[in-house]
Amino acid sequence: MRWPLVLLGFIIAFIFSVRVHSQDIPPSLDAARKEGTVSWYTTLGVSESQPLAIAFEKKYPFLKVNLYRSQAEKLLSRIGTEIRTGQYLFDILAANDIEFFVLLKQGLFATYISPESKAYPAAFKDPKGLWTDTYNNYHSICFNTKLVNQKEAPADWKDLLDPKWRSGKIALVRNAVPWYGNMMKIMGEKSGRALFEGLAAQQIQFHSGYTNVAQLLAAGEFPLALCRPHRIEKMRETGAPVDWVRTANPIIADLHPIGLAGRAAHPNAAKLFIDFVLSRPGQELAVQQGRISPRPDLKPPYPRLSTRGLHIVPSVPAVADTYNQYSEEYRKLFALR
C-alpha cells in the first residue's frame, strides 16, 4: 500500500533537516562487537525478514538485530517522527523502491559500497554506493488458461487494447501507480499515453492487492490481469489455471533497495548486515522464499523467471520525483476514488 500524499509531504518536510555523514569505509569487527546491535527497518514481511535476521545473528553471534517491520505508510511515519524529534534510531532501511527513492532524494542515506555489490548488474545498484537492490517483483500480463488459450493470449501490452478484451475482462490493481509511472517513463510520453488512454476505454476492473488479483484471476472472475509472475508460477505449481506472458515489453522489475542510514548509530554492524543480505547465502534465503534475486549467479525460484528472453527493465528511480503527479494521473484516468 502506498502512503497518502499528505503524509508524503509530512515526511519530506522533516527529512530536509537530516545531515548525512559519509560512512564509506569498510566495517570493523572489533567496532561492531562494541556496538553489539543493529537496527533494521523494512517493509519485507516477517516471514522473510526474520530468517535473514536469525541467519545473520548465527554468523555474528555477538550482534543482535533489532527488527522493525511495517507497511510503508507506518514505516515512513515512524521515520518522520524520529527525524522531527531529533532521533535517528534505524541503521538500515530496506524498502519498496518508490518509498526508498523518495527518502533517498532527501539525503537520508550514507554511501557504502559493499564488496558484495560487485556481483550485481549496474542497473540494480547505485554507482555511488547509496543502495543496492535485494530482490525483484516482475509485472506482466497474466491470464486464466480456462478462459484464454495460449494462441489468443496477448503477446504485448498493446494487445490489451483489442475490443475483445473490453467490458471488465481486464483487471488492474488499484495501487499500481509505481508500475504506471515506470511504464510512462520507459515507454515515453506519447506511447505511454496512448496505451493507458486505450486501457481506460476498455472498462477495466480494479481490485486491491496483487495477491488478491491473482487469486481472483485463478477463480475465473476475469480472463486477463496485471500480476506478478512469481506469484503466478507458485499458483501453477498447485494446479491453478493461470499463466503469464513472457513476451511483454517492457516487464517492469520493482526494486527493493537496502541502504545505510546517514546517522547510523551502529555503522559497523549495519555494514556487516548489508554485506550479509547482499551475499550469496543471504540471497539464497530470498530465493528460497520465492523471491527473484538480482544476482546473476543465482537461479530464480522458478525456471521460467530466468531473465533470458525476457524484456526486464528495472524500476526507474526518477519516478519518485513525480510520484504525486503519476498518482493523480492514474486515479483520474481510471476514475478511481
Render pLDDT for 154-177 as a digit per residue (tens, 0 to 9).
999 999 999 999 999 999 999 999
Rounded to two decimals, what is the model's pTM? 0.90
Q: Which domains does the chain have, with CATH numbers?
A: 5-135+255-306 (3.40.190.10), 137-253+325-333 (3.40.190.10)
Give Cβ neighbours of residue 63 (< 8 Å, ≥ 6 apart): 32, 33, 35, 36, 37, 38, 56, 57, 269, 272, 273
**22-40 tens-digit pLDDT:** 556 789 999 999 999 999 9
pLDDT at 10: 47
Task: Give yes or no for a cis peptide into 51 (omega within 30° of 0).
Answer: no
pLDDT recorded at residue 24: 63
CA-only gyration radius of the chain, Å: 20
For the beta carbon of residue 179, count every other beta carbon within 10 angstroms.
Answer: 21
Contacts 24+ apart (CB under 8 A), 325-330: 326/177, 326/180, 326/181, 326/184, 327/2, 327/5, 327/177, 329/180, 330/176, 330/177, 330/180
Q: CA-CA-CA-CA torsion for 300, 301, 305, 308, nearest 10 degrees? A: 30
Please give the chain's pLDDT, 337 residues, in tens.
Answer: 444 433 454 454 444 444 444 556 789 999 999 999 999 999 999 999 999 999 999 999 999 999 999 988 888 889 888 888 888 889 999 999 998 998 898 888 999 999 999 999 999 999 999 999 999 999 999 999 999 999 999 999 999 999 999 999 999 999 999 999 999 999 999 999 999 999 999 999 999 999 999 999 999 999 999 999 999 999 999 999 999 999 999 999 999 999 999 999 999 999 999 999 999 999 999 999 999 999 999 999 999 999 889 999 999 999 999 999 999 999 999 999 8
Residue type at 312 in one-letter notation: I
Give 238: exposed, middle or buried? Use CB within 10 Å, 0-12, 13-18, 19+.
exposed
The predicted pLDDT at position 62 comes to: 97
